[in-house]
Structure 1
Amino acid sequence: IPLGTRSSRGDSIRAAILIQNWYRFTKARLETRRRYSLSIFQSIEYADEQDQLQVCNFHFFLYKQQDLVVDEGLSLTEFENKIDVPDSYYGPRLSFPLTVEDANALLHAFRNEQLLHARYVLQLLCETRRVLKEMPNITHLSTSYSKEITVCGDLHGNLDDLLLIFYKNGLPSEQNPYVFNGDFVDRGKNSMEILIILFAFLLIYPNDLHLNRGNHEDYIMNLRYGFTKEVSKKYKDHGKLILCLLRDVFSWLPLATIIDSKVLILHGGISDTTDLDFLNALERSKFIQNLGNEENTSSTFCYLQILDILWSDPRSQNGCTPNKSRGGGCYFGPDVTAKLFERYNLKMLIRSHEFKPEGYEISHDGKVITIFSASNYYEEGSNRGAYIKLNPELIPRFVQYQVSKYTRRVGTIESSALKSLREKIYAHRSELTSAFAQYDLNSTGRISVSDWAAAMESVLQLELPWRMLRAQLVQMTPNGEADYMSCFYDLKIGQPTKEVQPALVETLCRYRRDLEIIFNIIDKDHSGLISLEEFGQTWKLFASHLGIDMYDESLDKLVLSIDYNKDGHIDFNEFLEAFHVVHRLEKKANS
């Protein structure tokens, strides 16, 4: 081979190696950014759930002031006589008992973004409650050599995921049974449609479609995470009655499913005190997640048993410890799993409840499987969804998918995650400033990166890689120290809040979701308006409940400034806009 040819070929090989190394490095960097972005989303989500459990007593106190009683004797004919369906309605017209044709009509309508009329929704819920009441707390299924059982995890209002599952895997039938493992609602925009479809197939195939309760099948959770708002918006005139009936339906959802006496399926997990026999015997409709319900707190053990199976998460460490990230349930280790399996002669635990980038995860030496069926959960492109196919040998087969209209870049996901994190940082500004000051004994405004990271974690407790995130969150001095007050430079609140004390702005930003729930509860006619008197009374109760300072004068001044029409009412959206919780990003020079 001529010398020049060998040299040229050597250069080509070296160039190819350089390109390959660059590609691998770039791909690894993108994957690192993707992972810490998802970690931010998940940490903030869990912290939010923890806050929800801590203040749910107050939410219940407000909500129980409403008329929540649903007549147990309501029947199909009663709704038919009381609620007219106008000729102008072109959606599905259901007749009971339902048929497969009815279910197909619902699927077609929802694909075309049609609503099911309120009369049929109420009739469907009434029938669903009747069927669920006849079911045991723990459903026992068996496989045969002629069929597999499909297990789906969280859907969270993502209708496209459910439709894709049915497209890939077939509709529920006697030959194609399903188990849906809770968290059908909240977060996504089509929770109601998902429930209608699942309940319709439940009525058609009560022995072949099975529903387990999740931690979001709870009316207090629904107030915070969007389902209540969705129902109220879609069914204005009958929304309250639908929500009341749904509350009853949720309380009758079974708690778990067991396949071939070997595979336990439940939403969250287990603890070292989980007793399946006890769970199977209790009156499930009397126990909801909320501690504020006096009827349901007569037995703490009963409550904790249900809380554990709905909220717990597996961990690789042995033992059973409180789930501090979520604020409810526990972390259970391989030894806890092994102990339960030995007691009940089980082989596998399938649970959901946790976001997984690939849609599933296997832990505890293959004994615990997490299945998560909501793709694009945090952002478009953030994760796949998955479901499990179980054959008679009980060998799981995973099917992954991702609903995608377009694929977002990692940078978009990262930007959205950092935006959420910055909001969290601003909401704890006072505590963070005090934590930083403990390391800055000479009041220089600068501390080491290690001290900055320690202060961030001590206050926010998000278990994030703070050192890795420092470039996005804090400015560094030339000698490698963190200018800690720069954490807040990009978080400027808009008008008219500059007239309000900063501490009040911080407090309202921190509890904005709770305030949204308060507005939704007080706003009985769903007009988006409440009286100044109602808001003032509720805020005082809320502040007292949380033990926070009032700042009456500042708050009154702000609320009055929002009452533009001077009619004694404020608009909820304008109230939120006043605090501009989704902070405007501005440079340090403009802040």
Structure 2
Amino acid sequence: VPKTYKGPHITFPITKNQLEHAMDALQKNQTLHAKYVVSLLQKVRQQLATLPNVNVISLMNHQRLVICGDVHGSMHNLLHVLEKNGLPCRGLLYLFNGDFVDRGESGVEVLLLLCLFLLYEPNCVFLNRGNHEDFIINIKYGFQKEVQRKYKNHADIILDLVNDVFAWLPLASVVNNKIFVCHAGISRKITYEKLMNIERNKFQTLLKLPDGSWSSTLIQQWEMLCDLLWSDPMPGPGLQHNKKRGFGVMYGSDVTKSFLDENNWNVLIRSHECIPNGFAYEHDDKTVTVFSVSNYYSPFSNKGAFIIVWPDSQIKPYQFIVINNKLQKHFSFRKQVNSIETAAIRDLKIKILKKQDILKKRFQCLETNIGKTQLTGNMHLNIERTIKQGLPWANLAPLLVDVTNAGLISYEKMFVDCSHVSKVDQKADLASVEEGRLYENEDVLEEIFRDMDLDGSGSISQQEFQEACSRLCTLPEKQEDMKEKIDLFIKLLDRNHDGHINFNEFLEAYRIVSSNSSAKIIL
């Protein structure tokens, strides 16, 4: 890499600082050096090759999963989804359901960002293959030309690696053993067992039709992949050839029901087609389509959406529109903080501090064998016996206290760190109560937020907030008095100064109000 290169640098394993700089550069359409692109794609190919054909995702009590549909090279829409939910972390998982590139102008940047996320948080980011992860489709719909334009002399080697990466992408995902997620759809040829046995890396394209050199097994696998990546649901029962696309099938509600019942699954989530409202329920709500590019054909032609899956396997779609394909504010890694997760970790530290006498006695019993520095396994076991939260302490340990390369933790230092939280915030107990109120009322707050969000954009405008307040106060003389206070309140809520109130800002407003009263939402 020449010294004149001013962009981000990448080494492996990727550090948080490197991810931060790379993310900032990619959203500014700065070109990552070809050497780093090649290294990144090689590492991702290596990582993907270790994965099964079907991702298995199990959500813990403190986690949620965001399912993102087609992105099609739209960095603005991808960043909007990230801005609304937060960056991938232990508490926030992402599943990107194919069609990352083509049609949009930032396919390279979208792909590289997803690759960075996958390597930085491999247990929190999952990718499914779509029908546009195919080199012949990329020739037709623009991604190949985009790579050639941006990387000129290095385009051939980059495209070869991209083709390998696409071929190694998992084909589907199962969430909580209840939700099946694939890019397009299903058919009667597809079974879970057969899906797991497909030699997926042999299919860099599905547009190459079988010939005499193909074995019967390879032909069957090709047919299943075509159905998985090209099919669409249709009203009514049955199966028929998908004439609109030329590949895959149109499958009816009976096919969906049979497939789900056979595997004891509740719902099929797919993407693959632009939906005016961003998402759609079909087949007695057993098939859900999610499409994550707003303004796909033209400004305001459609909304985008993403789906959140909760630990109990409940799903909730959320709509949005990226106005003029621009974010109101540059999305910075440094400023992205998941406030709820931060508050939860603080709450756990306070609980540990309250039980420190009991924990110390437990740890001291082991000192004669292990010493003051406890192995993480012993720490996890003792904390769970004492705190009794049923949490994945092995995953939470790095967030609670420093863990050495040998996997060791000083319990004395842990208590000092927990005590520091209490000293910094002298109202820690009150804060814990506030967060408890927040968790208790989050579903109701979400319903109120969606009622106020009249255009379904995922954020509340000043006008929408004022209209909601007017509905609550019907006296004209009071409305006029309130207007000035409402304007001031909106400015206080709008933490990122983008002119809108997102859900995290809305939750923070409730936390502030509830901390000064016995506020509780009553339906």
| Structure 2 Cα separation of the partners of residues 163 and 103 of structure 1 | 15
| Structure 1 Cα separation of the partners of residues 130 and 15 of structure 2 | 27
Stretches of structure 2 lacking an aligned partner (at least 5 in a row): 327-523
Shift of 1:88: 1.8
1:308 aligns with 2:227: yes
| Structure 1 Cα separation of the partners of residues 4 and 150 of structure 2 | 17
Q: Secondary structure at the match of 2:126?
A: strand
Aligned partner (choices 317, 328, 333) of residue 247 of structure 2: 328
| Structure 1 Cα separation of the partners of residues 214 and 18 of structure 2 | 41
Shift of 1:99: 1.9
Asked if structure 1 preserves the Cα contact closer than 8 Å seen for 2:27 and 2:109, the reply is no
Q: Could you tell me which residue of structure 2 aligns to residue 350 of structure 1?
A: 269
1:368 aligns with 2:284: no
Shift of 1:309: 0.4
Q: Radius of gyration: which is bigger?
A: 1
1:177 aligns with 2:93: yes
Q: Could you tell me which residue of structure 1 aligns to residue 206 of structure 2?
A: 289
**Aligned counterparts, 1:505-584, within 5 A:** none
Aligned partner (choices 260, 271, 278) of residue 176 of structure 2: 260
Shift of 1:404: 1.5
Q: Could you tell me which residue of structure 2 aligns to residue 219 of structure 1?
A: 135
TM-score after normalising by structure 2: 0.60
Q: Secondary structure at the match of 1:145?
A: coil
Letter in 1 for 2:49: K
Aligned partner (choices 282, 295, 310) of residue 391 of structure 1: 310
TM-score after normalising by structure 1: 0.53
Asked if structure 1 preserves the Cα contact closer than 8 Å seen for 2:76 and 2:325, the reply is no
1:131 aligns with 2:47: yes
Shift of 1:272: 1.8
**Aligned counterparts, 1:8-27, within 5 A:** none
| C-alpha spacing 1:345/1:406, structure 2 compared with 1 (3 Å) | closer
Q: Could you tell me which residue of structure 1 aligns to residue 76 of structure 2?
A: 160
| C-alpha spacing 1:161/1:406, structure 2 compared with 1 (3 Å) | closer
Letter in 2 for 1:253: L
Q: Secondary structure at the match of 2:285?
A: coil
Aligned partner (choices 231, 238, 244) of residue 319 of structure 1: 238
| Structure 1 Cα separation of the partners of residues 308 and 252 of structure 2 | 25
**Aligned counterparts, 1:42-61, within 5 A:** none
Question: Could you report, residue by residue, the CA deviation over 1:357-409 in whole angstroms, capped at 9, with x for unpaired residues?
Answer: 111001111111000001111112211111000112222111211111289xx
Letter in 2 for 1:342: D
| Structure 1 Cα separation of the partners of residues 27 and 98 of structure 2 | 22
| C-alpha spacing 1:387/1:113, structure 2 compared with 1 (3 Å) | same
1:405 aligns with 2:405: no
Q: Could you tell me which residue of structure 2 aligns to residue 118 of structure 1?
A: 34
Letter in 2 for 1:100: K
Asked if structure 2 preserves the Cα contact closer than 8 Å seen for 1:297 and 1:303, the reply is no
Letter in 1 for 2:63: K
Shift of 1:292: 4.5
Q: Secondary structure at the match of 1:177?
A: strand
Question: Could you report, residue by residue, the CA deviation over 1:49-99 in whole angstroms, capped at 9, with x for unpaired residues?
Answer: xxxxxxxxxxxxxxxxxxxxxxxxxxxxxxxxxxxx222211111111112
Question: Could you report, residue by residue, the CA deviation over 1:272-329 in whole angstroms, capped at 9, with x for unpaired residues?
Answer: 2211211101211012312247699432211100100000001112001100111110
Q: Secondary structure at the match of 1:389?
A: strand
Shift of 1:163: 0.8
Q: What percentage of aligned pairs have identical amino acids? A: 42
CA RMSD in angstroms, aligned pairs only: 1.5
Letter in 1 for 2:206: Q
**Aligned counterparts, 1:100-115, within 5 A:** 100-115=16-31
Asked if structure 2 preserves the Cα contact closer than 8 Å seen for 1:271 and 1:320, the reply is yes
| Structure 2 Cα separation of the partners of residues 346 and 397 of structure 1 | 17
Q: Could you tell me which residue of structure 2 aligns to residue 96 of structure 1?
A: 12
| Structure 1 Cα separation of the partners of residues 116 and 322 of structure 2 | 24
| C-alpha spacing 1:190/1:341, structure 2 compared with 1 (3 Å) | same
Q: Secondary structure at the match of 1:235?
A: helix
| Structure 2 Cα separation of the partners of residues 406 and 292 of structure 1 | 38
| Structure 1 Cα separation of the partners of residues 75 and 158 of structure 2 | 20
Letter in 1 for 2:188: D
| Structure 2 Cα separation of the partners of residues 119 and 201 of structure 1 | 18
Q: Secondary structure at the match of 2:7?
A: coil
Q: Which moved more, 1:225-234 or 1:287-296?
A: 287-296
Q: How many residues align?
A: 323
Q: Secondary structure at the match of 2:6?
A: coil
Asked if structure 2 preserves the Cα contact closer than 8 Å seen for 1:350 and 1:370, the reply is yes
Q: Secondary structure at the match of 1:242?
A: helix
Q: Which moved more, 1:339-348 or 1:210-219?
A: 339-348
Q: Which moved more, 1:297-306 or 1:359-368?
A: 297-306
**Aligned counterparts, 1:178-257, within 5 A:** 178-257=94-173
Letter in 1 for 2:219: T
| Structure 2 Cα separation of the partners of residues 406 and 289 of structure 1 | 32
| Structure 2 Cα separation of the partners of residues 222 and 151 of structure 1 | 23
Asked if structure 2 preserves the Cα contact closer than 8 Å seen for 1:286 and 1:296, the reply is no
Letter in 1 for 2:8: P
Asked if structure 1 preserves the Cα contact closer than 8 Å seen for 2:210 and 2:219, the reply is no
| Structure 1 Cα separation of the partners of residues 213 and 14 of structure 2 | 34
| Structure 2 Cα separation of the partners of residues 231 and 97 of structure 1 | 25
Asked if structure 2 preserves the Cα contact closer than 8 Å seen for 1:157 and 1:189, the reply is yes
Stretches of structure 1 lacking an aligned partner (at least 5 in a row): 1-84, 408-591
**Aligned counterparts, 1:134-145, within 5 A:** 134-145=50-61
